[in-house]
Amino acid sequence: MANYTRSTDPATGREILSYPDGSRKWGDNGYWINGPTDPKFNPVLADPLGMLQRRNELSRQIAREAVDEGAGLDPSQWGTGEGWRKIIVKTVQVYLQSKNLRGMGEVLGKLGSVTGYLSNETEKGSDPYSDEAKAIANAAALLNLLKELQPEAVEGKVIE
C-alpha cells in the first residue's frame, strides 16, 4: 500500500502525490513541489530561531578558527581568541607606521563582526573582564584612535 494520497491540482489538472509529512510532488514526473511541512520531520520547522542561532554560532566558530589559523597559532589554541588579539596588535602596528590609513578600519570592523568579536548586541550579566570583553574594548579603542588620526585637508594641503 502506498504511503501517499493522490489528488488533482485544480489549476493545471496534474496529479499531485501528498505524503503524511506534508511534502508533495507531481505524479507525472516525480519532481518535488515542497518538502516536509510537519515539524517532527523537519527540524528547521520545529525550531527555526534555534536553527538560525545554531548556524550563526557554527559560522562564527569556523571564522574564529580561521582567524587563529591565519595568525599562525598552534591548532590546540584555535578558538581561544588569541588570533584576534594578534590581529589587533598587528593592525595597530600597521596603523602607526602607515601614512595611508584609509580602509584599514573598515577591514578590522568587518573581520570583527564576522568572527563575532564585535557586535551591537549586549548580553545581560556579561563579565566585563572576560577575554572577549577585553578584545571588544581594545577594538573599540583602536577604532576611536583611527578616527582621531584621520588626515584633514586645509586649503588643499594634507595635515597629518
Write the pLDDT tens digit of every residue in 119-148: 766 555 556 567 777 777 777 777 777 776
Residue owning grid cell 576611536: 144
CA-based nearest residue to 16, from 6, 1, 3? 6
65-124 confidence digits (pLDDT tens): 888 888 888 888 877 778 888 887 787 777 667 666 666 667 677 767 766 777 766 555
- Output the pLDDT for position 86: 84
- Output the pLDDT for position 17: 92
Q: Is 132 exposed, middle or buried (0-12, 13-18, 19+ CB in 10 A)?
A: middle
- Interacting residues of 95 by C-beta distance below 8 A, sequence separation 6+: 101, 104, 142, 145, 146, 149
- Output the pLDDT for position 83: 84
